[in-house]
A and B are shown apart, each in its own frame.
Chain A
Amino acid sequence: MMRKADYEGIESAPRWILLFLAAYLAAGMVAVYLWNAAGNIFSIQGGTGSTSALPVTGMAAVDLWLCLVVLRSFPAGSPLRGAWLLMALAAGLRVVSGVMGSLAGSEAPAVAAAGGPVQLALLAAGLFRLLGVLRGFGFWRRPAVADWAVCGVAVLFTLCRLAELAAAWLAGSPIRVESWVAVAGLPILCVLVLEARLLRQSVVSIGNGLIARVWVALECGILLTGACELALWVVPHYSRTLPLAMFQALIRLPAAAAFALAPAYQVAAQRRATKPASVPTGDLATGTPALAE
């Protein structure tokens, strides 16, 4: 049974993130089910899509805040300070992109680039530094066949997107800058997928402790981002009636939550170290010692 203390303090952030994600996904599924059962007679698309983007941007803001908390615990010169700094910058760009793009309705290419290839590149650089530190400690394994297979799927998807865009461009169709920017992020996503699989191998080599959860969360975030891109490219080809904005939020929120879980687990592990589990005073039958009084 969960105690009240389990949901108090910043160390309970992973639980709150998972609770919010579960509640949002459940509500979204119910809404889609009702919409489908009602025969699509009412719109759940939303006016501008900003309502659907709000939880994703909010989760990115939580991610940024937790990254800054983690960053503060690593003084200058710490091996992982650079990695967390880059991950915090990536989270910051996701927030800026979310606020400017989805909530404020800006369609500037710079905003799309900040929320796409630039933040992915920062994340990839951060993971590269993290993997370097892990390799230095011997927490390292060569990628397995399954890892190469997952990377192969990402590369294939990137090639399909590039081919599709190139075909449209050669056919003379007008192509928006956002499309080019979105496709520009895909090669970086392939690198990220490879890094995520290497992180997975590191987790396998050390086990599933509190710190390993951080890396699992990062891996899940990257793989879910790739899965989002794939789903958002495939689904419109097969369903024109699906409420795309809502579907996009439903599918992007787990990735955003996974990214937010990484610093949340890091903070939880740090707090676990600095504040060891203690017996709650309320459970004690005896009163306060006289000396303490």
Chain B
Amino acid sequence: MHPSRAGLIAFGDAEAGSTGRRRIAGHLSRCEKCRSELRRIQSEKHQLSFDASACATVDPQPGLAWLLSSMASWRDGRSGGLGTEIKSRARTQIELYLGSPAISLVERRPGGPPEELLANTGLVLDALLGPEAADAVRDDVLNGLECAAMEPR
């Protein structure tokens, strides 16, 4: 009687008991069919372990690069939104205290960074409204954005 496939796998993995190992070994010495089946099982096992190691040892850089680029784009997108928000709030304050035409005069460079617009707004309001009021306006612009602004870039 031929041993089962499970028994052959256990024999190949040296997991069969001593009685079973002796029985299967005796059978394999006599049966070419079971010897070929065992060779096939071991070949499949080797193939499987090779595929697994191949997956594990594949160049991780593309995946890591993809992950890092995704994180960077998420972060950039978030900081871009933060900059837009700061600019929008600064423009609102300029419009409130000076007027709409003053926005372009204070902004100087429309595509400039939000820090520049915030600094210019503070400078103008500091001179025209006084330091205390200018600080309050600056706080108003940054109100609720402090946590996001302090995130490491």
Report the interface size class on chain A: 20 to 34
Q: Are B132 and A274 in contact (CB under 8 A)?
A: yes
A-B contacts at CB below 8 angstroms, number: 79
Q: Are B99 and A209 in contact (CB under 8 A)?
A: yes
Q: Are A269 and B97 in contact (CB under 8 A)?
A: yes
A184 to chain B: closest CB distance in Å? Answer: 33
From known contacts A206-B99, A207-B98, A209-B97, infer whether A73 and B133 are also in contact, taking CB-CB under 8 Å.
yes
B41 to chain A: closest CB distance in Å? Answer: 70
A224 to chain B: closest CB distance in Å? Answer: 23
A88 at the interface (CB under 8 A from B): no
B14 at the interface (CB under 8 A from A): no
Q: Are A209 and B95 in contact (CB under 8 A)?
A: yes
A205 at the interface (CB under 8 A from B): yes
From known contacts A205-B101, A207-B100, infer whether A270 and B132 are also in contact, taking CB-CB under 8 Å.
yes
Among B29-37, B57-65, B69-77, B122-130, the one that faces the other chain is: B122-130
**Residues 99 to 125 of chain B near chain A (Cβ within 8 Å):** 99-102, 105-106, 124-125
Closest to A205 in B: B101
Q: Are A75 and B96 in contact (CB under 8 A)?
A: no
Closest to A266 in B: B129
A50 to B126, CA, bound (A): 42
Q: Which residues of A contact B80 (CB under 8 A)?
A: none
Name B105's contact: one of A80, A137, A203, A273 (CB within 8 Å).
A137
**Interface secondary structure of A, over-half rule:** helix
B128 to chain A: closest CB distance in Å? Answer: 5
B63 to chain A: closest CB distance in Å? Answer: 48
From known contacts A137-B105, A139-B105, A206-B105, infer whether A74 and B98 are also in contact, taking CB-CB under 8 Å.
no
Name B101's contact: one of A70, A74, A206 (CB within 8 Å).
A206
A181 at the interface (CB under 8 A from B): no
B136 at the interface (CB under 8 A from A): yes
B142 to chain A: closest CB distance in Å? Answer: 13
A75 to B131, CA, bound (A): 8
Q: Which residues of A contact B15 (CB under 8 A)?
A: none
Interface centre among A206, A211, A212, A274 (most CB of B within 10 A): A206
**Residues 184 to 229 of chain A near chain B (Cβ within 8 Å):** 203-212
**Residues 26 to 56 of chain B near chain A (Cβ within 8 Å):** none
- Please give me the 10 A-B residue pairs with the lowest Cβ-Cβ distance, nearest first: A207-B99, A273-B133, A206-B102, A73-B130, A209-B99, A209-B98, A270-B133, A274-B136, A79-B127, A207-B101
A residues whose Cβ falls under 8 Å from a Cβ of B: 70, 73-75, 78-80, 133, 137-139, 203-212, 266, 269-270, 272-274, 276
